[in-house]
Structure 1
Amino acid sequence: MIIVPEREIAGLMTRKAAFDAVEKVFAAMSAGDAYNFPVVREAIGHEDALYGFKGGFDQAGLTLGLKAGGYWPNNLEKRNLINHQSTVFLFDPDTGKAKAMVGGNLLTALRTAAASSVSIKHLARKDAKVIGMVGAGHQATFQLRAALEQRDFEKVIGWNLHPEMLPNIEKVAEEAGLPFEAVDLSGMTEADVIISITSSFAPSLMADHVSSGTHIACMGTDTKGKKEVEAALLETATVFTDEVAQSISIGEAQHAIAEGLISQNDVNELGAVINGTHAGRIDEDQITLFDGTGVGLQDLAVAASVVDLAAAKGIAIEVDF
């Protein structure tokens, strides 16, 4: 079995490699060549933690495995560790033997950012100039860096419940040579693309905060009860997702469906746009929304890439397991 420790991930996985892996697996899912297993996600009753498993099988890429991990909200304050902790396990689909164990913390950040970036590539207007960030935590910096590679953005605007965190994304904007402006949520009407990346259970972004023609990537809702945007926004938008089953059960669509604003048939696969079986954006005034719930196959795809790179560079740790 190969082990790729967390400390090696930064030197192996690039944003482009993560983007390519996620785009490819979304396409495979939509074509029926890959599928995710049901998600297990539970509050464990200790340290306020959420813990669970996401897994799947990509028959096209012969990738089988799971990611185990979750969210420990007290880690940063108590232990100077990031709050999201995870590990990816890969198995040989021919024999079932354990194939690899890969540090999943940075990979999770990169694959989540890649997913919203893929949605921007395929759904945002080509002339998008202003990108808005709702949320300014650790993951937001990854989101913004990846998104800025998809369009010729000229300005970054941002809002966060705790404004003292806004320098996190302001620094990324400055690195890219772009001006940054802190705004109220009503100021998001200036944005052509909005990324929402919070862990909220109450909506921040409302329908009247979004202008026509905007693309929204909702990346924080991955658990029953979480909610980043007003459900009415999904009624006015064309909704896309990584996986419909997750979107309607643990994603933003759970709320719009519960309120009777949309049905399951109104939720479309982003992979279908990639494959050309869905038109995606059809006019400049259309609001598009990507409900990024985070699927296990994303984790497996980036982990498999890392294992190949680690083996090629001779830094993979091999153990007899």
Structure 2
Amino acid sequence: MTTTTRIDFLYLSEQDMIRAGVTDMLACVNTMEEMFGLLYHGDYRMAGPNSDSHGAMITFPKDSPFPNMPKPTADRRMMAMPAYLGGDFQTAGVKWYGSNIANREKGLPRSILMFTLNDPDTGAPLAHMSANLLSAYRTGAIPGVGARHLARRDSKVIGLLGPGVMGKTTVSAFMAVCPEVDTLKVKGRSAKSLDEFITWLRSTYPQITNIEVVDSIEAVVRGSDLVTYCTSGETGDPSTYPLVKREWVKPGAFLAMPAGCRMDEAMEASDVRKVVDNTGLYQAWFEELPKPAHNHVPLVGVRFMDMIEEGKLLPDQLEDIGKIIAAEAPGRVNDEEIIIMSVGGMPVEDVAWGTVVYRQALERGVGLKLNLWESPALS
């Protein structure tokens, strides 16, 4: 048997990623569903003591003696998000995540992301890829997986808070699994973002014939079959997070929340089903964060952890979407129940979708092959 020490890897720019299929939302939803099956059966690893951590994050102090240290502006963070995923994937990888809401003033996305895919045996790189689209599509796909199992089949109305990138991909995922949708209500922060979103929506989903711009969160929620909050903002004070009130919510609605959200007491009540993408992820956050944890990570899943600590929610009242996908727990039980799902974002999602896109890039001859070494200078 011959062996070689040569290591090559594939570099994929954003345009390469598009050519390799990163924007195929239905395929992404299907991939995320497969990933959840592996997650439920334990064929994965992430960081942290319980192997469920979101990642390792650098934050910056308000007052630093070093004048060149970055300032803690809104959404300023840097993070490494590593994971391994088994099954048919059999890969590992890490996403490097730099974020600053002030980037928008420079014409840049809030977050700038790169992803490295690795051989899990040797650790050798397989690919280094632009990851903004990778991350956006895998994040948006998770509400689509939830809607496939938990939304009413006759859902027709989407209520969207935040018409940015996350809003677009979440709508794309809803449309991939809920073909009867014909109405969308949207609230945004600026006329520019709303105009851009509506232009995109009309060209991408002409079957949505009724588009309504609303001026309150209540109007987003009322009458909607599918509700999602996709805004970004500062954390620290949950009273500033976008609110969802039970009285606004239509019987039978499915709410998927990949961004900050707070609930009124009626939404926190036990007759509203509470689903998460991975209970272990929120347990890891809860162990890592000061309390109340929702002050530091604004996702409703983190609020669920605070509720358990406060005795307002029993652990067995929290449901994992993986268990539902595995048919070991029921999906939607009836047309009246209200279900809210937290979407936290996990590095196993990047590994899953990154692996699929990488393999398609190889099949399609996309990307630039780069050499790491013929043989290592030190070994």
TM-score by length of 2: 0.77
1:206 equivalenced with 2:206 (yes/no): no
Q: Aligned partners of 1:167, 1:124: CA distance in 2, in Å?
A: 28
Letter in 2 for 1:119: G
Q: How many residues align?
A: 314
SS in 2 for 1:74: helix
8 Å CA contact 1:137, 1:168 repeated in 2: no
Corresponding residue SS for 1:285:
coil
Change (3 A) 1:32 1:209: same
Aligned residue for 2:293? none
Question: Residue 212 of structure 2 aligns to a residue in which SS?
Answer: strand
In 2, Cα distance between the equivalents of 1:40 and 1:140? 26
Runs of 4+ in 1 over 6 A off after TM superposition: none
Question: Counterpart amino acid of 1:88?
Answer: F
Give the secondary structure class of the aligned counterpart of 1:319: strand
Secondary structure of 1:281's counterpart equals coil
Question: Given the alignment of the two structures, is residue 2 of structure 1 paired with residue 40 of structure 2, yes or no?
Answer: no
How many Å apart are 1:163 and its aligned residue?
Answer: 5.5
Residue 213 (structure 2) aligns with:
182
Is the CA contact (8 Å cut-off) linking 1:213 and 1:287 kept in structure 2?
Answer: yes
Alignment counterpart, residue 361 of structure 2, candidates 296, 310, 318: 310
Counterpart Cα distance in 1 of 2:165 and 2:40: 30
Q: Which moved more, 1:10-19 or 1:23-32?
A: 10-19
Which residue pairs with 2:6 in the alignment? none
Q: Which residue type is aligned with residue 186 of structure 1? A: E
Residue type of the partner of 2:81? K
**Which blocks of at least 5 consecutive residues in structure 2 are unaligned?**
1-8, 48-52, 62-69, 286-296, 373-379
Q: Percent identity?
A: 20
Structure 1 counterpart of 2:364, which letter? Answer: K
Mapped to 2, the partners of 1:216 and 1:182 lie a distance apart of: 19
- Normalised to the residue count of structure 1, the TM-score between the two structures is 0.91
Are residues 1:140 and 2:167 paired?
yes
Correspondence list, 1:119-134, <5 A: 119-134=146-161
35-44 or 269-278: bigger deviation: 35-44
* Structure 1 residue aligned with 2:31: 21
1:195 aligns with 2:195: no
Question: What letter is aligned with 1:181?
Answer: E
Query: For 1:311 and 1:19, how far apart are their aligned partners in 2?
Result: 21
Moved more, 30-39 or 125-134: 30-39
Partners of 2:212 and 2:282 in 1: how far apart?
31
Residues 1:157 and 2:196 are matched in the alignment = no
Aligned residue type for 1:279: P
2:116 paired residue among 67, 89, 92: 89
Distance 1:205 1:150, change over 3 A: farther
Counterpart secondary structure, 2:126: strand
Structure 2 equivalent of residue 284 of structure 1: 335
Contact 1:116 1:147 in 2 (8 A): yes
Q: Which secondary structure does the structure 2 equivalent of 1:307 belong to?
A: helix
Corresponding position of 1:223 = none
User: d(CA) in 2 for partners of 1:283 and 1:56?
Assistant: 36
SS class of match (1:265): helix
1:138-179 CA-partner distances (Å, limit 9, x unpaired): 321222122122211121011234465323433344232321
Secondary structure of the corresponding residue to residue 319 of structure 2: strand
Q: Structure 1: 5+ residue runs without aligned partners?
A: 221-226
Aligned-partner Cα distance in 2 for 1:52–1:276 = 34
Query: Is the Cα contact below 8 Å between 1:156 and 1:173 reproduced in 2?
Result: no
Residues 215 and 124 of structure 1: CA distance in aligned 2, closer, same or farther (over 3 Å): same
Q: Distance in 1 between matches of 2:251 and 2:313?
A: 19
Write the letter of the residue equivalent to 2:305.
I
Change in CA separation of 1:166 and 1:264 when aligned onto 2, cut-off 3 Å: farther
Aligned position for 1:224: none
Q: Give the deviation of 1:214 after TM superposition.
A: 0.6
Give 1:17 shift: 2.4
Stretch deviating more after TM superposition (261-270 or 29-38): 261-270
Q: Is the 1:2–1:317 contact (alpha carbons within 8 Å) kept by the matching residues of 2?
A: yes
Show the counterpart of 1:253: 301
Partner of 1:43: 59
| 1:244–1:264 contact (8 Å) kept in structure 2 | no
